[in-house]
Amino acid sequence: MKHTISVLVENEFGVLARVSGLFSGRGFNIESLSVAPTLEPDLSRITLVTRGDDRILEQINKQLNKLISTIKVIDFTGEEYVERELALIKVSAEAESRAEALRIVDIFRAKVVDVTPKSYTIEITGASAKIDGLIELLRPMGIKEIVRSGPVVMGRGAKGTAG
């Protein structure tokens, strides 16, 4: 099962290597990973997507917590949360497919951020599943390149977590 985990860590030398090394060393899988500083400059937040059964997820959670640099681990599975991912998609757009591409962009409330006579570069933000949906529709036109950020998540409600 897919799990999105948010890890609050010390913003220090080597911390990403500790997290990614933990996953590779113990044979856990990482589907996506994004890292950026938080409101507090000495803290970073890592959001990662992984897969595994309950036993593996329990180990992932515990092993992440065991790292000295880890402050907090939240597995959002089963929680109420907002998920957003950003993707840039460069798609072929010539002759009749130009209009079709724009219609799809419109339906998905995406944006065209770069235009050439032969292509559009489309920016989309949303849950990863929505991005998957857009990609499927654009695929027949010929996708030249995709860059995805990996999802970031935040719990719903008024309460915030530190950092």
Partner 1 sequence: MELTGSQILLESLQKEGVDTVFGYPGGAVINIYDDLYDSSIEHILTRHEQGAVHAADGYARCTGKVGVIIATSGPGATNTVTGIATAYMDSIPMVIITGQVPTPLIGNDAFQEADMCGITRPCTKHNFLVKDVRDLARTIKEAFYIARTGRPGPVLIDLPKDVQVTKCKFKYPETVSLRGYKPTYSGNSRQIDKAAKMLLRARRPVLYVGGGINLSASNAELLKLAEITQSPVTTTLMAMSGFPQDHPLCLGMLGMHGTFYANMSVTDCDLLIAIGARFDDRVTGRIDSFAQKAKVIHIDIDPTTIKKNVAVDLPIVGDLKDVLGKLCDKLSEQAESLQKLVKNTAKWRETIEEWKQAHPMGYESSDTIIKPQFVIEKVRELTDDNAIISTEVGQHQMWTAQFFQFSQPRTFLTSGGLGTMGFGLPAALGAQVAFPDRQVIDISGDGSFQMNSQELATLVQYKLPVKIVILNNNYLGMVRQWQQMFFDRRYSQTVMELPIDFVKLAEAYGATGLQTSKVADVEKIIKQALETPGPVLMEFKISREENVLPMVPAGKGIHEMVLAS
Q: Which CB atom, from 9 or from 110, has the smaller least distance to partner 1?
A: 9
Spatial separation of the C-alpha atoms in residues 92 and 74, rounded to whole Å: 40
Q: Which CB atom, from 32 or from 63, has the smaller least distance to partner 1?
A: 63
Tokens 């089963």, residue located: 78
Residue pair 69/84 in contact by the 8 Å Cβ criterion: no
Smallest separation, CB 19 to partner 1 (Å): 11
Smallest separation, CB 62 to partner 1 (Å): 4
β-strands 70-75, 2-10 pairing = antiparallel
Residue pair 61/78 in contact by the 8 Å Cβ criterion: no
Smallest separation, CB 98 to partner 1 (Å): 48
Cα of 7 vs its chain's centroid, Å: 14
Q: Amino acid identity of 147? A: V
Residues at the contact surface with partner 1, assessed by CB under 8 A: 9-10, 13-14, 17-18, 21, 25, 55, 58-59, 62-63, 65-71
Please choose, from the candidates 46, 60, 48, the residue with its C-alpha nearest in 3D space to the C-alpha of residue 15: 46
Q: Which CB atom, from 37 or from 140, has the smaller least distance to partner 1?
A: 37
Helix (H) or strand (E) segment spanning residue 132: helix 128-138
Smallest separation, CB 31 to partner 1 (Å): 22
Q: Which CB atom, from 14 or from 140, has the smaller least distance to partner 1?
A: 14
Smallest separation, CB 101 to partner 1 (Å): 45
Please choose, from the candidates 30, 21, 15, 5, the residue with its C-alpha nearest in 3D space to the C-alpha of residue 70: 15
Q: Which CB atom, from 2 or from 62, has the smaller least distance to partner 1?
A: 62
